[in-house]
Amino acid sequence: MKFLEKKIIFQAILLTLTLSITAGVYLIYRAWDYWSADQAYADMEKNAVQKVKMAGQPDRYREDLTTDSSGKKSEGGQDGGEAPSDNAGEERKKSADDTDRSIDGTTIPDKPVIDWDELSKSGRDIVAWLDIPSLGIAYPVVQGNDNEFYLHHLPNGEYKNAGSLFMEAANNPDLTDVNTVIYGHNMDNGSMFGKFRNMTEEDYETQPFLWLCTKEKDCLYKMISLHISLVDDESYTLFKSNGEVNRLNYENSIVTGWLRAENQRSYIHMPVPKSALGRVITLSTCASLSDERRVLQAVLVREIARPP
């Protein structure tokens, strides 16, 4: 009887040690997997991305989307209703410079300048670069043939649990859809979209803007909602687009109604800017429950065409 008891105790100890070692090895592997993925993305940013200050230098490639009451473009944001004063040119230049430096009194963050030839070496499916200064998020965005492969693959195709930020396969990669959806993991170490869960109103107030850049243009967005969605709810509505950039019609527009509804769901106060254009990005990651997603949305406020 004592021999049998000793044997059971020995087997229990052996099983406990085996489970402990297995768990330890798994945790070490997961930590290494996360670290190696973070290192790969850090190398991409180091080799292919620079930051250019918007403050203090007008962006001569900025598309002037300012319109007057008739819907026509107006030079320098002026409606042309009054005769220009002697210093009109100087005032217009000052106004343009101020517009280049800030929007609604908030300084525009430094713009990422991408070496696309270099970045493309890290993956042929890279279609954009996302930069969210207030959260320290800076990653390439890929788009595959489906919404599965890049869940656990880096842009170069290497298998990693962290995966990549990837654009909805049904979206147009040139950002002309009304709603462009980008998915990313809610990582335990805070990488990818893991920082969404700890975002505060102070983070938003410090810097509400983010950049999404493609080979053809740099798009500046302002955050308008951080909320919990279900996997199949209206946050993921793509809408149809004719490819034109239009100001939001605040009087009568399905898109505006949808955007306002999304804005009202936010648990951080994020006013919709009056200068908003009719395009949104929806950044989606996992939440606590399996059928929930944490969603950060931002609306386009400026589009800068890159020279050919």
Give the domain ranges of the chain: 55-107, 124-305
- Average pLDDT estimate for 268-290: 91
C-alpha torsion sign, points 50, 51, 57, 62: positive
Three-point CA angle 120, 126, 129, nearest 5°: 100
Average pLDDT over residues 103-123: 94
CB 293 within 8 A of CB 286: yes
Summarised one tens digit per residue, pLDDT across range 197-250 is: 999 999 999 999 999 999 999 999 999 999 999 998 999 998 866 666 666 665
pLDDT tens figures, 4-18 = 666 666 666 766 766
Of 57-71, 132-146, 243-257, which one has max mean pLDDT? 132-146
Instruction: Answer whether residue 56 shows pLDDT above 60.
Output: no
Alpha-carbon distance of 47 to 56, in angstroms, equals 26
Q: Which two tokens stand for residue 40?
A: 């790969």
Distance CA 278, CA 176 (A): 10
**Distance of alpha carbon 101 from alpha carbon 37, whole angstroms:** 35
Report residue 62's pLDDT band, with 50, 70 and 90 as the boundaries: very low
Superfamily of domain 124-305: Sortase (2.40.260.10)
d(CA 232, CA 96): 42
- Predicted local confidence at residue 246, as pLDDT: 62
Integer Rg of the chain from CA: 24
Mean pLDDT of 165-193: 93
Mean pLDDT (the chain) is 81
What's the distance, Cα to Cα, between the start and end of the chain in Å? 86
What pLDDT, on a 0 to 100 scale, did the predictor assign at position 262?
95
Q: How many angstroms separate the Cα of 245 from the Cα of each of 139, 145, 211, 219, 308?
A: 25, 26, 17, 12, 20
Q: Model pTM? A: 0.78
Spatial neighbors of 79 by CB under 8 A, at least 6 apart, are 68, 69
Q: Residue 63: which pLDDT band, with cuts at 50, 70 and 90?
A: very low
> Six-digit token pair at 259?
């955007």
Helices (H) and strands (E) in the chain — how many of each? 5, 12
Q: What is the pLDDT of residue 91?
A: 45
The least confident of 61-70, 126-135, 267-276 is 61-70
